[in-house]
Amino acid sequence: MQAITTLGLDIAKSVFQVHGVDAAGNVIIRRQLKRRYVLAFFEKLPPCLIGIEACASSHHWSRELQALGHTVRLMPPAYVKPYVKRHKNDATDAEAICEAVTRPNMRFVATKTPEQQTRARCIMSADCCSVVFKGTKRIDGRLTASQIASASATSCLLRLTYAFT
């Protein structure tokens, strides 16, 4: 078997699509992987370049694959779209990701740490949940005790108070 140098990984909820090529650009592997087999598959591979479309869960998979010794690059989906050659499906997306990650002028997204992801989610939640507290006055960016007592959305409140600390 020839050595895989570049992989495109299209991630989804339960089934991932892998497209791998060698140094000459010849297709070595096209395969679907269930979520539970993804790490086992990549543990068996020698370190290679892996491209993934950037989304919320791509940062998790990037960290996991980097821990296995692979080089992972995240790309915005809008930059991958021009490389889709035919009808959009998981297999053609993985092929397009594999092609796009090798381009010299491609722009990449930095992998976020778990803390950065948590912070981003809390800020987004605060923006989405601020309707609950519309018209309330905050003291130094925090809700007062009476506002907390009158709040009906407890989970939203916890996210909102975390975002302002």
Q: What is the pLDDT of residues 53-91, one digit of tens each?
A: 998 889 999 999 999 999 999 999 999 998 998 888 888
Last residue of a domain, one of 101, 131, 153: 101
Please answer whether residues 97 and 10 qualify as being in contact, where contact means their C-beta atoms are separated by less than 8 angstroms.
yes
Q: What is the pLDDT of residue 144?
A: 59
- pLDDT at residue 161 in the model: 47
Q: Is residue 109 part of a domain?
A: no
The one-letter code for the residue type at 4 is I
Residues 153 and 127 in one domain: yes
38 pLDDT higher than 90 = yes
Which segments of 48-143 does DSSP mark as H helices, in order? Answer: 56-67, 77-80, 90-101, 114-129
Question: What tokens does 149 get?
Answer: 């007592």
- More confident: 49 or 131: 49
pLDDT higher than 80, residue 44: yes
Measure the CA–CA gap between 112 and 110, rounded to whole angstroms. Answer: 6
Retrieve residue 106's tokens.
């491609």
Tell me, rounded to whole angstroms, the distance of Cα 100 from its chain centroid.
16
Cβ-based neighbour number of residue 140 at 10 Å? 5
Say what the pLDDT of residue 159 is. Answer: 47
Is 123 domain-assigned?
yes
Are 63 and 120 in a shared domain?
no
Q: What is the pLDDT of residue 123?
A: 65
In a 13 Å sphere around the CA of 11, the CA atoms on its Cβ side amount to 22
Which are the contacts of 63, defined by CB distance < 8 A and separation ≥ 6?
A: 111, 113, 114
- Residues 15 and 74 both lie in one domain: yes
Q: Is the pLDDT at 141 greater than 70, yes or no?
A: no
Angle between helices 154-163 and 114-129 (to 10 degrees): 120
* 23 & 51 share domain: yes
Residue range(s) defining the domain that contains residue 145 = 114-163
**Which of 101, 123, 151 marks a domain boundary?**
101
In a domain, 90, yes or no: yes
pLDDT in tens, 83-100: 998 888 888 999 999 999
- pTM above 0.75? no
**CB-CB neighbours of 5 under 10 Å:** 17
- pLDDT of 5 above 90: yes
- Please report whether residue 107 resides in a domain: no
Report the candidate in 43, 61, 46 with the shortest Cα–Cα distance to residue 5. Answer: 46
- Cα separation, 97 vs 83, in Å, equals 8
What is the pLDDT at residue 146?
Answer: 57
Residue 94 and residue 73: Cα distance in Å, rounded?
14
Selected residue with higher pLDDT from 1 and 48: 48
